[in-house]
């Protein structure tokens, strides 16, 4: 299903403001309904488990290396340091290469800072050897170094996946452009353009209440349109496999009901478009602006929208 590029993400107006703001500010992590069951649920636990295990490995290595340091046995210390460094480095580089770009912190998505992360992943061995050579200063130095790598591992585990986990937790409260076919999305883009007009008017007048009504309608229409598309696709599949007259008759009734619902969405789109035109025309003249201000203050436009079958 080709996605519409003109549609903006649509959010349930019932979302708490702080949640809606956080989702709106990170559109790249919003998940289309068709991808809710893809690799994401598996990849998140892998990152969390891997990062946590790596942080624990640093503690194990610190404890296991104490006897070698106390004995000054550099030959026994180095093999363990090599294994530790290899595991830390490989895990850090693999995390960067396999994590979806939208999950990564913005600084690590491209450019020189990605190279710096790779360099950071390659430093455990020289730092471990430097700490050993320092002798009496080994413990504070090693503690500082391993604390940094433990913090980085936990950051990968929980920081990189935080936005995606948040978007997944609220996935039933928003719809994204990929959820809408370009064949049907024009009515939703028209509603969003009307909202834009009213927001422009709201820069001069108090349009909070009618904007709330239109945003509720935007969500209602988006949800109904997404449901219609899904039902339409299911109908086409079943119709192609229908084997007897009774089944075809049942499918025909379902089709007619779906089309009736779509026609109602189209009528509501027309009413909202007319509403937007009234505002746009009125704002062109000082007298018209005064009329809009008076109507918004008295609630006339809001009442008219509701009387036309709005939310």
Query: Looking at per-residue confidence, does 110 or 56 come out higher?
Result: 56
Per 3-state DSSP, what percentage of the chain is helix, strand, and coil (rounded to 5)?
80, 0, 20
pLDDT in tens, 86-145: 999 999 999 999 888 888 888 888 778 899 999 999 998 888 888 778 766 777 888 888
Q: Would you say 235 and 228 are in contact if contact means Cβ atoms under 8 Å apart?
A: no
- Give the three-class secondary structure for 20: helix
- Give the mean pLDDT of 188-194: 90
- Tokens coding 278: 């009234």
Phi, psi (rounded to 5 degrees) for 290: -65, -35
pLDDT of residue 143: 82
- Tokens coding 290: 């005064």
pLDDT in tens, 151-176: 999 999 999 988 888 998 999 999 99
């Amino acid at each position: 299903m080709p996605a519409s590029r003109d549609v903006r993400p649509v959010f349930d107006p019932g979302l708490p403001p702080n949640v809606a703001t956080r989702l709106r500010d990170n559109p790249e992590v919003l998940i289309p309904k068709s991808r809710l069951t893809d690799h994401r649920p598996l990849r998140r636990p892998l990152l969390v488990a891997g990062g946590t295990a790596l942080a624990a490995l640093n503690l194990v290595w610190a404890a296991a290396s104490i006897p070698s340091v106390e004995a000054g046995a550099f030959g026994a210390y180095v093999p363990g340091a090599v294994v530790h460094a290899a595991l830390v480095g490989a895990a850090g580089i693999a995390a960067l290469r396999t994590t979806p770009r939208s999950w990564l912190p913005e600084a690590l998505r491209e450019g020189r800072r990605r190279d710096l992360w790779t360099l950071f992943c390659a430093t455990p061995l020289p730092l471990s050897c430097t700490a050993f050579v320092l002798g009496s200063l080994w413990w504070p130095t090693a503690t500082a170094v391993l604390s940094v790598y433990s913090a980085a591992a936990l950051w990968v585990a929980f920081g990189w996946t935080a936005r995606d986990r948040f978007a997944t937790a609220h996935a039933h409260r928003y719809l994204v452009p990929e959820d809408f076919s370009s064949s049907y999305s024009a009515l939703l883009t028209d509603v969003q353009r009307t909202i834009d007009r009213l927001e422009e008017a709201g820069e001069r007048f108090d349009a909070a209440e009618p904007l709330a009504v239109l945003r509720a309608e935007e969500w209602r229409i988006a949800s109904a349109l997404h449901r219609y598309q899904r039902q339409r696709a299911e109908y086409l599949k079943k119709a192609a496999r229908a084997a007897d007259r009774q089944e075809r008759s049942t499918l025909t009734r379902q089709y007619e009901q779906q089309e009736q619902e779509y026609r109602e969405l189209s009528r509501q789109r027309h009413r909202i478009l007319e509403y937007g035109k009234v505002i746009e025309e009125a704002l062109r003249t000082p007298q018209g602006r005064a009329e809009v201000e008076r109507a918004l203050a008295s609630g006339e436009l809001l009442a008219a929208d509701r009387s036309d079958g709005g939310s």
